[in-house]
């Protein structure tokens, strides 16, 4: 059959739900040849797979793998698994140790959720990872996608998955003209996922489905001519899908922080209190603009977090002039390496310390 072109639709007989086996086989054959050899695909250990899935939520694969040198060693993923090779190892670690190990990945609530799941596995299952989808889903911080992914990738269990990549593929595959970020839209996507999941090889099928969304069925430039399931696609304008709420424009905000070093070369840091976005993390003490307006700016930097574009001004402050707040604490330079710290603060602090020592 000729390849469908934009403006035309395939024959009704090529609807994926009427040709499930052919659709599954085409996708799996493509994946067996073109699938990327990520380190988490080289194992069926459910704990390692859970760690990878939590890391990959809201974080790009390239960030999880790190730079070229770290990529060969598995980057953040391999280092984390080396530190915490099983749920019990993580359950016995302190939150500060875990946040430090997670440093560079951001969205630190994920690390705390993973810590809670490790404790539940250790205390409720004696450290043995649950074998069923429903028990995995019942772990703290685990949602339907993660439970389905771990079940299918670790146990080859025929469980449906829907993440952003799968949602995009299905929206185009079924020419879905409704918003995917609504309850109704999500319900339909999950229904298709359950109907299409392979019973014979769900591990390869789900991996292939996600890989397709990352590659040929990407967000901005779908490469339909190379798509292994293009004959099944019902959309004549795939670049217009999926339909979802327009992205919220990033909010610009400014923060003011102190760089204060005492006569013993100790650095003043502040620990983010419980309930805050960076709970448990150490950072340069934040202050109101009115408290820093008379202090010289020694460094300015920018970073993005969720929907905020932040400009951070760091003010040099004499130790005798600073008013300590409840979460402030002095730290020696030698101890800084072991403290969990947001990447923007870590980079700024390293620069300022080097500058002071020059």
What is the sign, positive or negative, of the torsion defined by CA atoms of 44, 50, 52, 57?
positive
Active site residues: 53
Cα pseudo-dihedral 56, 58, 64, 66, rounded to 10: 160
Give yes or no for a contact between 144 and 138, defined as CB atoms under 8 angstroms apart.
no
**Closest to 168 in 3D by CA, of 115, 220, 116, 113:** 220
* Mean pLDDT along residues 308-325: 96
3-state SS class at 187: helix
**What residues have CB less than 8 Å from 21, skipping those under 6 apart?**
none
Residue 88 pLDDT greater than 90, yes or no:
yes
**Closest to 42 in 3D by CA, of 161, 203, 174, 160:** 203
Residue 6 pLDDT greater than 70, yes or no:
no
Give yes or no for a contact between 289 and 235, defined as CB atoms under 8 angstroms apart.
no
**Closest to 52 in 3D by CA, of 36, 29, 68:** 36
Strand partners, 261: 267
- Pure H helices in 35-173: 46-56, 61-65, 68-72, 75-83, 87-91, 95-102, 109-124, 133-137, 144-155, 164-173
Can you tell me the distance from the alpha carbon of 141 to that of 357, in angstroms, rounded to the nearest whole number?
Answer: 44
How would residue 7 be classed by pLDDT, with cut points 50, 70 and 90? very low
Q: For the chain, give the longest Cα–Cα distance.
A: 79
- pLDDT tens for 90-127 read 999 999 999 999 999 999 999 999 999 999 999 999 99
Cβ-based burial of 137 (10 A; exposed 0-12, middle 13-18, buried ≥19): middle
| Tokens describing residue 83 | 């530190």
How would residue 9 be classed by pLDDT, with cut points 50, 70 and 90? low
- pLDDT tens for 327-341 read 999 999 999 999 999
Q: How far is CA 353 from CA 253, 316, 356, in A?
A: 26, 12, 5
Residue 12 pLDDT greater than 90, yes or no:
no
**Closest to 292 in 3D by CA, of 266, 318, 331:** 318
Length of the chain: 358
In the chain the domains, ranked by start, together with CATH numbers, are 13-240 (1.10.340.30), 251-357 (3.90.79.10)
Q: What is the pTM of this model?
A: 0.90
């Amino acid at each position: 059959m000729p390849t469908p072109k934009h403006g035309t639709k395939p024959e009704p007989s090529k609807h994926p739900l009427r040709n499930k086996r052919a659709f599954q086989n085409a996708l799996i054959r493509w994946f067996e040849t073109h699938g990327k050899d990520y380190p988490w695909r080289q194992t069926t250990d459910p704990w390692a797979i859970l760690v990878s899935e939590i890391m990959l939520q809201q974080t790009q694969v390239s960030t999880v793998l790190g730079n070229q040198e770290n990529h060969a060693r598995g980057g953040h993923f391999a280092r984390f698994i080396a530190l915490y090779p099983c749920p019990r190892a993580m359950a016995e670690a302190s939150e500060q140790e875990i946040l430090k190990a997670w440093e560079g990945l951001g969205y630190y609530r994920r690390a705390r959720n993973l810590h809670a799941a490790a404790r539940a596995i250790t205390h409720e299952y004696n450290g043995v990872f649950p074998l069923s989808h429903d028990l995995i889903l019942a772990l703290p911080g685990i949602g339907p996608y993660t439970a389905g992914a771990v079940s299918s990738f670790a146990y080859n269990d025929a469980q449906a998955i829907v993440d952003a990549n799968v949602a995009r593929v299905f929206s185009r595959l079924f020419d879905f003209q409704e918003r995917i970020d609504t309850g109704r839209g999500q319900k339909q996507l999950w229904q298709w996922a359950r109907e299409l999941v392979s019973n014979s090889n769900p591990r390869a099928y789900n991996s292939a489905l996600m890989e397709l969304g990352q590659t040929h069925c990407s967000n901005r430039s779908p490469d339909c001519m190379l798509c292994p399931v293009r004959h099944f696609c019902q959309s004549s304008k795939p670049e217009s899908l999926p339909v979802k709420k327009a992205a919220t424009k990033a909010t610009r905000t400014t923060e003011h922080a102190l760089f204060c070093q005492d006569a013993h070369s100790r650095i003043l840091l502040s620990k983010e209190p419980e309930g805050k976005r960076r709970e448990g993390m150490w950072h340069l003490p934040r202050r109101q603009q009115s408290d820093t307006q008379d202090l010289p700016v020694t460094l300015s930097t920018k970073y993005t977090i969720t929907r905020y574009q932040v400009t951070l001004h760091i003010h040099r402050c004499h130790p005798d002039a600073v008013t300590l707040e409840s979460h402030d604490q002095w730290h020696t330079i030698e101890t800084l390496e072991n403290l969990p710290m947001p990447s923007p603060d870590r980079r700024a602090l390293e620069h300022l310390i080097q500058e002071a020592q020059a």
